Copies of this chain bind each other. A is one copy, B any other.
Amino acid sequence: MPERESVSRAPRRRSERARTAVLDATAALIEEVPYARLTVEAIAARAGVGKQTIYRWWPSRGAVVFDALLERSGGGDAALPDTGDLRADLSSFLRASAREMTAPSTDAFLRAVTVEILQDEAVALQYRQRLLTPQRAAVRQRLATAYDAGLLRDDVDLDVLVECLVGPVAGRWLLGSGALDDAYADAVVDVALRGAIR
């Protein structure tokens, strides 16, 4: 029995090692090379596995890159703080988002994943389901607490309000149209919150 167990487990351990090596190699290459040169061949070479090993588990480069982002972000659905001060909580959140997006390693990762989202509907769907929806639910939850406390207008659509907070920051990141600093995050919170508050 122990013999048999070890036999059945060995491939799984090997698989897990290979999976981790592939995701680590992908993360390293995203920071090191222009994304156009980040091929499945390059990932396989860096991870020390065959190209076929990658294609056995992932349908495309985009799927590997998405899993590497998921591994790195740990799900990304952390709840927002609730200090009782809605403006301060949203400001903390949006300042932190802006700071994280502009950190070189995150920036490179987000660029890579966005390139895939734009070209691969399967990656876009995974992104919406596994990262975007939980992230937005966390912001929405903080807004819902304020709504339930009667702080926001009755007719405010909380999903629209979430996008009015994160959309301008994401747009400035994507287009490089200005500084992504604390002052910008606060200015966006001011407009969105004044537009939603009773």
- Taking a contact as CB atoms under 8 Å apart, the answer to whether A164 and B168 are in contact is yes
Give the copy number.
2
Binds B, one of A7-15, A80-88, A96-104, A186-194: A186-194
A24 interface hit (Cβ, 8 Å): no
Residue interface mask A127-138, B partner, CB < 8 A = 1? 110001000100
Q: Chain A: how many interface residues by the 8 Å CB criterion?
A: 43
Q: Pick the contact of A124: B160, B176, B187, B196 (CB < 8 A).
A: B176
Residue interface mask A156-177, B partner, CB < 8 A = 1? 1101110110111111101111
A184 interface hit (Cβ, 8 Å): yes
Q: Pick the contact of A114: B118, B132, B194 (CB < 8 A).
A: B118
Q: Apart from A115-B115, A164-B191, what 16 extra A-B contacts exist at CB < 8 Å?
A: A114-B174, A118-B174, A124-B176, A132-B175, A136-B177, A159-B178, A160-B184, A160-B188, A164-B168, A167-B167, A167-B170, A167-B172, A190-B195, A191-B191, A193-B195, A195-B196
